[in-house]
Structure formats: C-alpha cells, structure tokens
Structure 1
Amino acid sequence: MEITFYKYQGAGNDFVLIDNREGNVSLSTAQVAQICDRHFGVGADGLMYLQHSQDADFEMVYFNSDGNESTMCGNGGRCIAAFAHRLGAAGTSMRFMAIDGMHEATINTDGTVALQMQDVTDITFAGTYEILDTGSPHYVQWVTDTGAIDVFATGRSIRNEDRFQPKGINVNFVSRKGDTLVIRTYERGVEDETLACGTGVTAAAIVSAGRNTGRFDIPVKAVGGDLRVTFEKQEATNATHIVLTGGAQFVFKGSIDVA
C-alpha cells in the first residue's frame, strides 16, 4: 500500500502527517512504527491523521512513534494546523477536535502557530518537582543545569516508576536562564529524549509561576527551538486561557510503500 505523506516539524519535534479526510487510510500499530522508524522508515516522533469532522474544521488523530494512539501533542497540534491551512482544509483561524477535546489555532502573520490548550485543573506541588496534565501527563523536575542531566537514563527511570503505571508519564528537566526556561524532555511512546515537547513546554511554563496568580507570558527554550506559553492563573493549582506559540514548518512531501 503506497501512502502519500507530509513531513512537518515544530521546534525539532517532527511528524508524519497524512490527509485522511476520505477515511481510506487505517494503519496498524506495526505500520505506524515502521513509518516513524528513523533507520527503516521516514523517521518521526509521531504520526497524525487529518480527518473529517462534522463539528470542526478537521479532527487530529495522533500516534506516538511506537505505533500506539496517544494523548494530546502540542507541537503536533501546531503542525497539523499548518498542514490543514496548506491543504485548504482551514483558514488562518481554525477549530479542530483532538483526543482531549476541541482546540483553536491561529496561523500568525510571522508564520508561527498559536494553539489554544485545554485548561489545567490540578497541579501537584511536591517541592523539587510538579505533576500536571496539559493534555498529556507531565512530571516537571527543576535542575540547576539541564546540560548536566542524563535525560535518557533519569527520564526513563522516572517514567517507569510504579506509581505512574500502567501508562507512564512524560518527564521534563527544567532550569531558569534569566526570564527564559530551558527544558529537556523524555517522552513516553517515543521512549527517548525529543528535541521539543509542546505539552511539556506548556507544563513547565505553568508550574514556573509557582503558586502565584495573574497573567503570565513565559518564553521557553527547547533543544530544537524557542516556544512561548501564555496563560492565566486564578488559583494556585489551575491555569486557563493557555496558548502555546512557535514555529511549525513543512519539511517535505513524499510517499512510502507500507507492507
């Protein structure tokens, strides 16, 4: 079966996107993993279908590189918004359905994509780390120097702790450099460090406000690029009006024969 695909990346977080508005593509877990394989496939952190929706401009269906359908992906959401605009499936402002509900996105005049995220209703503060769900579950650990962390070994260990099973958790290591957060992330499903994680960046930005309330605008530097998160906090343990903004670039179009 030959499949036409489009490759996109947002802050180095890369994805294979498939226009599946006619519903003709139904890949198995093994086939998704094959396409995402960096040695024997296209290579990507994840794969997405852009599908028809009766209630929105389109529906986003996201799979991790291990082939399993997963929870919300923030950079993936920004990339699929750019993809939808390229296809003519949406204008510069759009609404789309994802696994965690409805999202709005805007293609800005500078080419960046602003993605509205779901509200955060519960933040666990535990001293040296926080836990929250920004569409995907995240563990945020504060460190002095992200460059000194063995993200693969330490992240994998935390991700597989018994208390987070059976699904595991994404693990972020975050430090401050002036007004900017610096972040590295171990992603479940990819089972490795990724160059950026949109829901992880969002989580880090929100908990960086601590128990303070108000409106916040937080720049975040991931390994693969710069992102920005704006949000409001009316209480210490929640956040609303969350918007993740950053670049989302088309890389190439191709086709692959999937067995």
Structure 2
Amino acid sequence: MNYTFYKYQGTGNDFVMIDNRNLHFPKNDTKLIEQLCDRRFGIGADGLILLENDDTTDFRMVYYNSDGNESSMCGNGGRCLVAFAKQLGIIDTETTFIATDGLHFATISNEGIISLQMKDVDEVQEHKSHVFLNTGSPHHVQMVEDLNIFDVRNQGAKIRYGDLYGNAGSNVNFVSQTDENKFRLRTYERGVEDETLSCGTGATAVAIAMRATGKTKSSLIELQVEGGMLEVSFIEKNGFYTHVFLKGPASFVFKGEISVG
C-alpha cells in the first residue's frame, strides 16, 4: 500500500500526519505505525496522528505513540494537527476538534503560532520529591539541580517503570527554574521510551505544578524545552486550573509518499 503523509514538528516534537477522512488507514496495524515512525526504516517521528471527520467539530484527532499504540492526549501533536488542518483547507484561523481527552479549541496566527486549549486540571498531587498531575496525559514533575548533565533517559525510565505508577506508567519531567516565571524542562515520554525534544502536555504539567508548589506566582509561564520555547497560561482559583492554553510554533516539514507491505 502507498500512503501519502505530511511531516510536522512543534519545538522539535515531530509527527507523521495522515489525512484519514476516508478511513483508508489500517488503524489497528500496530506494526505498520511503528514502522512509519521508525527513524531508520521509516519516516521517523515521535508519533503518528490521523485527522478524521467528526460530526460535531471540525475534525477528530487520533494519536499513536512511536511504539504503534494509540495513546492519550499529545499537546504538541494537537498544535501540529491544527496547522495540518489549515494546510488541508479545513479551517482558517480558529477551530474546535475532538481528541481522546475531550473537546479542544485552538487559534492559529499568521506566523504559525498555535494556541491550544488544554483540559482543565482539578487535582495536583504534591509529594515530597515530586508532583503528579494529568493534563490529558499523566505527568511526573521533579525538580533537579543541573539539568545539563542529568541522565534523563535512565532516570526517567526508572520512574516510568517503577512502583509509583504501575503498569500504565507515567511521562516524567525534570525541571529547573531560570527566572520568576521561566523554567527549563526535559521530558522522558512513555510510548517513545526516550527523551524527546519537547512535550506539550509535559510543559503544561510543569507550568501548573510550579504554580501549585509556589515556585511562581505567575499565571503566564515560559518553558524552555530542548527544541525551543513554549508558553502556558491559565486561570487558577482555589487549586482549580481552567482556560489552560499551550502556545508555541508548529511547522510543516515535508510531504511524501511511502510504500509499505
């Protein structure tokens, strides 16, 4: 089979995009998805995203990790999918779409900056050494002193597969503070099973965790990830976080066709 695909990236978090409005893609073929995401034998990506029709919104997002399994929400993937929908002519400057964690609203600027509304967060679990919360995907957030030399891959894997989170595991974010409302983070992503250059739900989790633990008083937080800069804003009231927006660039890389099978 031949598949037409589009490659997008958001602060270095890269995705294979496929227009599946005609439902031609074999969604249950885990090995095919894994092959397409493979950086040596396929296209190469952190994940694969299908754009599909939806009865009540502009489109539906179906997201797979690079291991081929359908996964929870991906913030950067959602932003990239908005850019893809604009390229396909489905939307113009704003949109609503449905994803695994519910309804999302997004806007896109002329410069390709996409602001994506994330799910509300009503629970932040504070522990002695870390914070845990769900921003569409589960996230462990932990402060470290020297992020430059920190072994994200091995330490992240220990936490992801450790006793804390059971079989489901968790994404793991390591954070350092650089200014009153600025933080740097590196993320180990489950499903990729490695560090990625950026994680949107992770950046969102870090921003909320830093506010919840008193590291910042700001409701507009800048986050330096390995692939660039992201911005997270929210409204906080009595520990409840609403109007959560993840903002940053999303760029088209290339279009191609691949023959598999």
Work out whether 1:137 is the aligned partner of 2:138.
Answer: yes
Which residue matches 1:34? 35
Task: Give distance in 1, aligned partners of 2:52 and 2:112.
Answer: 23
Which residue matches 1:67? 68
How far the C-alpha of 1:199 sits from its partner, in A, is 0.2
* Moved beyond 4 Å, runs of 4+: 211-215
Match of 1:230 among 221, 229, 233: 233
Task: Give distance in 1, aligned partners of 2:177 and 2:30.
Answer: 38
State whether residues 139 and 170 of structure 2, in contact with CA within 8 Å, keep that contact through their aligned partners in structure 1. yes
Task: Give distance in 2, aligned partners of 1:96 and 1:85.
Answer: 13
Task: Give distance in 2, aligned partners of 1:135 and 1:145.
Answer: 28
Task: Give distance in 1, aligned partners of 2:110 and 2:244.
Answer: 20
Which residue matches 1:255? 257
AA aligned to 1:5 is F
CA deviations on 1:182-231 (whole Å, 9 max, x unpaired) are: 00000000000000000000000111113569860000000001000001
How far the C-alpha of 1:143 sits from its partner, in A, is 1.0
Calculate the TM-score normalised by the size of structure 2: 0.96
Calculate the TM-score normalised by the size of structure 1: 0.97
State whether residues 62 and 70 of structure 1, in contact with CA within 8 Å, keep that contact through their aligned partners in structure 2. yes
* Map 1:1-259 → 2, pairs under 5 A: 1-27=1-27, 28-178=29-179, 179-211=181-213, 216-236=219-239, 238-259=240-261
Task: Give distance in 2, aligned partners of 1:25 and 1:65.
Answer: 16
Unaligned 5+ runs, structure 2:
none
State whether residues 211 and 218 of structure 2, in contact with CA within 8 Å, keep that contact through their aligned partners in structure 1. no
Task: Give distance in 2, aligned partners of 1:242 and 1:3.
Answer: 35
SS at structure 2 position matched to 1:163? coil
CA deviations on 1:89-125 (whole Å, 9 max, x unpaired) are: 1121000000000000100233200000000111001
Task: Give distance in 1, aligned partners of 2:111 and 2:147.
Answer: 30
Unaligned 5+ runs, structure 1:
none
SS at structure 2 position matched to 1:68? coil
AA aligned to 2:202 is G
State whether residues 215 and 231 of structure 1, in contact with CA within 8 Å, keep that contact through their aligned partners in structure 2. no
State whether residues 4 and 256 of structure 1, in contact with CA within 8 Å, keep that contact through their aligned partners in structure 2. yes
Task: Give distance in 2, aligned partners of 1:214 and 1:222.
Answer: 21
The farther-off stretch of 156-165 and 12-21 is 156-165
SS at structure 2 position matched to 1:80? helix
The farther-off stretch of 202-211 and 64-73 is 202-211
Cα gap change, 1:244/1:76 in structure 2, threshold over 3 Å: closer, same or farther?
Answer: same
Task: Give distance in 1, aligned partners of 2:10 and 2:32.
Answer: 23
SS at structure 1 position matched to 2:219? strand
State whether residues 10 and 79 of structure 2, in contact with CA within 8 Å, keep that contact through their aligned partners in structure 1. yes
